[in-house]
Amino acid sequence: MGMSVTISAATEKDAEQILKLQFLCYQSEAELYGDYSIEPLTQPLDSLKAELAEGTVLAARLGDEVVASVRARVDSDGTARIDKLIVHPRMQRHGLGGRLLDAIESRLASDAGAKSFQLFTGHRNEHNLRLYRKHGYEPVATERVDERLSLVTLAKDASAGAYVASA
């Protein structure tokens, strides 16, 4: 019998696993843009621990292994800024990223009073853009970072609810 993936709040003891997973997951993003100096690849452990203490961080676990994670914080205006949705490469394309996105939206709306959600991804990351659109996000801005990268900001209202798969 196989184990099932569980999603719950991440703790400081998860920090090293999350950081290693982040490093693994952002390799493809770095390759896509030809830039291995991106913040997710250079973030120090202390910085991640501070995010765990200050924001909402969820971890998806398969047994004791963290196989996916997402972070967010809610601004004073009620906008939840979702960041670093990561899924282990061997667990991708099975709906885990969508489950994690739904879980953090639900947690932020109920516990932190989020009125809207916002996230961003690189303009070339079609997989991420497709996932976010599927979950009701619409592009609201594009910021050119340099000649290789533009960041697409996507948003949705909290009243839009969670994505429901069609049968």
pTM over 0.95: no
As a whole number of angstroms, the distance between CA 112 and CA 123 comes to 29
- Phi then psi dihedrals of residue 41, to 5 deg: -90, -15
* Tens of pLDDT, residues 16-36: 999 999 999 999 999 988 889
For domain 5-115, give the CATH number. 3.40.630.30
Coil, helix or strand for 143?
strand
Domain boundaries, the chain: 5-115
As a whole number of angstroms, the distance between CA 119 and CA 70 comes to 11
What pLDDT, on the 0 to 100 scale, is given for residue 149? 87
As a whole number of angstroms, the distance between CA 9 and CA 167 comes to 29
As a whole number of angstroms, the distance between CA 25 and CA 140 comes to 25
Residue 163 above 70 pLDDT? no
* Tens of pLDDT, residues 52-95: 999 999 999 999 999 999 999 999 999 999 999 999 999 998 99
Least Cα distance to 48 among 86, 75, 90 occurs for 86
CA distances from 38 to 46, 81, 134, 139, 149 (A): 17, 19, 26, 22, 11
